Amino acid sequence: MTTNQSLEGDQLAPAERGLEPKKPSPALTLTAALLGFALIGLDASVVNVALPSIGHALGGGMSGLQWVVDAYTLSFAALMLSTGAFSDRAGASRAYALGITVFTLASVACGLAPNLPALIAARVAQGVAAAVVLPASLALVRQAYGDPARRARAVAAWAAGGSVAVALGPVAGGALTTVWDWRGIFFVNIPLGAVALALLVRAPRSQRLPAPLDLPGQVTAAVTLTALAFAVIEGGTTGVVALVVAVVAGGVFLRVEARQPHPVVPLGLFRSRTVTAAVAAGAAVSVAFYGVVFVFSLYFQQVQGLSALAAGLMFLPMTGLIAVTNVVAGKLAGRYGARLPMLVGQVLAVGGLLVLLYVDAGTPPVVVALLLVPLALGCALTVPPLTAAMMEAVPAERAGLAAGVLNAARQVAGGLGIAVFGTLVSGGFADGMRWSLVISAGLLAVTAAATSRLR
C-alpha cells in the first residue's frame, strides 16, 4: 500500500466512524420506559383529589365522579389484555411510541372537556393508550438488559418509578388544582409525554414477534368489566340487569379462553403458583391502595373541610417513603427472593388498614396522614418483588403478555375497588369508609396466606 493510500485511509476512518450508528443505551431505554409508566400511573391517582372541583365545575354527583376515575381504569385494564400481545406483535418500541402519542393527545382532550360526558370519553381514550404503554414499557426494559441480575434491578427501578408516580398523584393533583385548575392535572402530561418520546429515540428497535390477537376474548372481557362496574356504580334495576350481563359475558369469556389457541388470558399461566400468587397479591394491593386514596381524598375535603392542596399534602407522609421502600424491596427480593418482602409487605399493609378503622370525623388530619404510612409502606414493599417474580416465572418471549395479564388484574381490581367503595361511602361516609378498610384488609390477608406457601 502506498503512502497516499495510507493517508487516504487515515482521512476516511474518522468520517466512517462518525457515520456509524450510536449503540442503543439501556439506561436511556429504562428512563424512557420508566417515564411512560410513571405518566400513566400518575393519571390513575392524580384525579382523586381534584374530584370535588370537577364535580363543582361539571356536576354529575358521586356516580359521575366514580366514572371519571373508572372510565380510565377499566378501559386501561380491559384493553391491556390484548395490548400485551399487540406490543409483542408490533414491537415494543413502536407500540410504546403510539401509546404515548395517543395518551398525550387524549390528555389535551381531557383538559379541554366542556362537560362531564366529554371528560369521561377522553378518559376512556387515555385508558386505551395507557393500556398500550404499560406492557410495551416493561417489554422494553426486559429487552434492554440481557443479564438477569441487571434486568431484575431494572425491573425493580421501573416498578418503583410507577409506584412513586401513583403515590405522588394526590399531592400533585392537590397542588395543580389549587394553583392552576383541575384542568391542569391533564395539561401537565403534554411536556412529560414529549420527553418520553424524545428519549425513545435512543431505545433499540424491538423485534416483531408472532402474537395473534384474540378479539372474541377481548370483547367479552371488556363487556364483563364494563357491565360489572356499571352494576356497582349505578345500582337499582339497571344495575341488576348489568350484573346479569356481566355474569353471562364472564362465562362466555372463560369458555372462549379455554378454546382459543391464542387467548388474551392464557389460563395455563395460572398453573404456576408464583403467577397466581403474584396476580392475586397485585390485585389486592391495588384495591387497598387505590380504594383508600379515593376514600380519604373525599374524607379530607368533605368530612374534614380541607382544601384540595391541603388534602393533597396530607398524603405526603405516605408518599415520601415509597421510593426508598421500593428500592429496599428490590434489594430484598434480589437477596432473599420475592416471597419474604411480598409477605412482610402484605402483613404490614393489613396492620395499617386495621389501624385506620379508628379514624373518625374528629381525628386530627395530621394524625390521619401519619396513620396512612404503614399501608403505603406495605404496598410499596410488595409491588416490585411481585412484578419481578411474575417476569421471571414466564419465558422471555411472553413478557409482554404476562405484563398485560398482571397489570390488567391490578387495574381491574383498583377500578372495581373504587366503584364498590364509592357506593359504600355514598350511603353513609363513616360506615362506608370502615367497610372499605375491612374489605381491603381481608383481601390482603388472603393473598398473604397464599404468598406464604411460595417457595
Q: 17-57, pLDDT tens digit by residue? A: 444 445 567 778 888 888 888 888 888 778 888 888 888 88
DSSP 21: P
Are residues 271 and 248 part of one domain?
A: no
Which triple of cell numbers denotes residue 267? 389460563
> At residue 401, what are phi and psi to the nearest 5 degrees?
-65, -45
Q: Mean pLDDT across the stretch 286-296?
A: 90
pLDDT for 19: 40
Interhelix angle 215-234/399-426, nearest 10 degrees: 20
Domain match, 300 and 161 both = yes
> Is residue 13 situated within a structural domain?
no
Report pLDDT for 90: 76
The answer to the question of residue 129 being in a domain is yes
Looking at the structure, do residues 244 and 286 belong to the same domain, yes or no?
Answer: no
For residue 371 the three cell numbers come to 396513620
> Could you tell me the three cell numbers for 95?
407500540
In a domain, 1, yes or no: no
42 and 187 Cβ atoms separated by less than 8 Å: no
* Cα gap 41→320, rounded to integer Å: 16
H/E element, 307: none
Cell numbers at residue 291, please? 380504594
Shared domain for 133 and 179, answered yes or no, is: yes
**What proportion of the chain, given as a percentage, has pLDDT over 90?**
22
pLDDT of residue 184 exceeding 70, the answer is yes
Is the residue at 10 inside a domain? no
In terms of domains, do 256 and 280 share one? no
Alpha carbons 414 and 119: distance in angstroms, whole number: 20
Number of domains in the chain: 2
Average pLDDT, the chain: 82
Residues 147 and 58 in one domain: yes
Q: Is the pLDDT assigned to residue 6 strictly greater than 50? A: no
Hunting for cell 409483542 — which residue is that?
88
Structural element, H or E, at residue 174 = helix 148-179
Alpha helices by DSSP H, 321-371: 322-336, 339-355, 365-371
In a domain, 5, yes or no: no
Q: Select the more confidently predicted residue: 17 or 247.
A: 247
Distance CA 404, CA 74 (A): 13
203 to 90, 102, 252, 274: CA distances (angstroms): 15, 19, 40, 31
Q: pLDDT-based confidence at 180, cuts 50/70/90?
A: confident
Same domain, 248 and 290: no
The reply to whether 88 and 235 lie within a common domain is no
Residues 389, 417 share a domain: yes
Do the domain assignments include residue 403?
yes
Please indicate, yes or no, whether residues 242 and 357 belong to a single structural domain of this protein.
no
State residue 158's pLDDT score: 81
Residue 232 near residue 66 (C-beta atoms within 8 A): no
| 249/364 same-domain check | no
pLDDT bin (cut points 50, 70, 90) of residue 70 is: confident
Over residues 157-167, the mean pLDDT reads: 74
CA pair distance 132, 103, nearest whole angstrom: 9
Which CATH number belongs to the domain containing residue 160 in this structure?
Answer: 1.20.1250.20
* pLDDT confidence band for 238 (50 / 70 / 90): confident
CB 423 within 8 A of CB 232: yes
Give CA–CA dist 245/251, Å, rounded: 10
Is there a contact between 293 and 352 (Cβ–Cβ < 8 Å)? Answer: no
Q: Which of 142, 138, 72, 111 is nearest to 415 (CA)?
A: 72
Residues 273 and 318 in one domain: yes
Asked if residue 209 belongs to a domain, the reply is: no
The whole-number average pLDDT for the span 225-247 is: 82
- 244: pLDDT strictly greater than 80: yes
218: domain range?
214-263
Residue 136 exposed, middle or buried by CB count within 10 Å (0-12, 13-18, 19+): buried
| Residue 415 DSSP SS3 | helix
Asked whether the beta carbons of 303 and 432 are under 8 A apart, the reply is no
Q: Is residue 8 part of a domain?
A: no
CA distances (Å), origin 205, targets 37, 90, 136, 151: 19, 11, 12, 18
Give the integer Cα–Cα distance in Å for 301 and 381: 29
Residue 418 identity:
I
